[in-house]
Amino acid sequence: MREKASDRIGRRNCMLILDEIGFAIVEMYVVMAVMAIIASISIPNITRFIYRMRVNNATNALTSRLRLTRQRAITTMSNYVFDYNISQSSYWMFRDQNENWNLDSGEEFFGAYDACRGHLDITFNSDNPLPHPVAFTPKGGVIGQNGSPVYGNFLFYNARGDTGRITILPSGFIKSKQG
């Protein structure tokens, strides 16, 4: 039986299609090389981003808690004491109903926190420290134990140079700057 010309052309097209299915090993190596180049460029940037975000998160966490403490002092019309320990990277707050600057039985303990949020690469410090302790007043200001207005700041930083600064003004206004 003799083949028709159309059958030969159809079979040849089928063979061409079958040859084009799948990847050649060279193509796979090229794709893997491109992926390796992209990864080698992006991983250091991702690492820098992660370290910067750790400092920003620690700064934001303390800023938020300070603002919440101030807001509670205003809404409850009582002093809220804020104290910290730089060497242990910790801070805590409580409602001081009898205004004796001590946490007494029955007073609301607002919380104790790790300033660096468990990240050992972050340093918690101050170049203009607040006196120990301070109180947010019902009028929103910040006072020391002697009753006079106080101010100061806290710093968060890492070895890469990422920093966060929180400034507490005598008016009780809390500024946060990262960068």
Instruction: Give residue for tokens 């140079």.
Output: 161
Instruction: Say if residue 9's pLDDT is above 80.
Output: no
Residue 130: the pLDDT is 84
Which stretch of 20-24, 58-62, 129-133 has the lowest confidence by average pLDDT?
20-24
What token pair was written down for 77? Answer: 């019309």
Local confidence band at 179 (pLDDT 50, 70, 90 cut-offs): confident
| Segment among 12-26, 41-55, 89-103, 163-177 with least mean pLDDT | 12-26
Query: Residues 51-62: what's their mean pLDDT?
Result: 91
Tell me what the pLDDT averaged over the chain comes to.
Answer: 86
Nearest CA among 55, 73, 18 for reference residue 154: 55
CA 92 from chain centre, in angstroms, equals 19
Q: What is the mean pLDDT of residues 60-74?
A: 93
What 3 state SS string does 128-162 have?
CCCCCCEEECCCCCEECCCCCECCEEEEEEECCCC
- Domains within the chain, CATH numbers bracketed: 25-178 (3.55.40.10)
Residues 68, 40 contacting (CB under 8 angstroms): no
Q: Is the pLDDT of residue 52 over 80?
A: yes
What share of the chain has pLDDT > 70, as a percent? 87
For residue 30, the number of C-alpha atoms closer than 13 Å in the C-beta half-sphere is 5
Distance set, CA 77 to CA 25, 54, 94, 95, 170 (Å): 74, 34, 14, 10, 18
Residue 82: closest CA among 92, 74, 68, 72: 92
Q: What is the pLDDT of residues 141-170, one digit of tens each?
A: 999 999 999 999 999 999 888 999 999 999
Residue 14 is predicted with a pLDDT of 52
User: Could you tell me which residues come within 8 angstroms of residue 87 by beta carbon, excluding any fewer than 6 positions away?
Assistant: none
* Tokens read off for 163: 């920093």
- pLDDT value, residue 131: 86
The two three-digit tokens of residue 112, written as one number = 């104790």
* 100-130 pLDDT per residue, tens: 998 999 888 988 888 887 787 888 888 888 8
- How many angstroms separate the CA atoms of 60 and 110, rounded? 17
Place of tokens 């801070």: 91
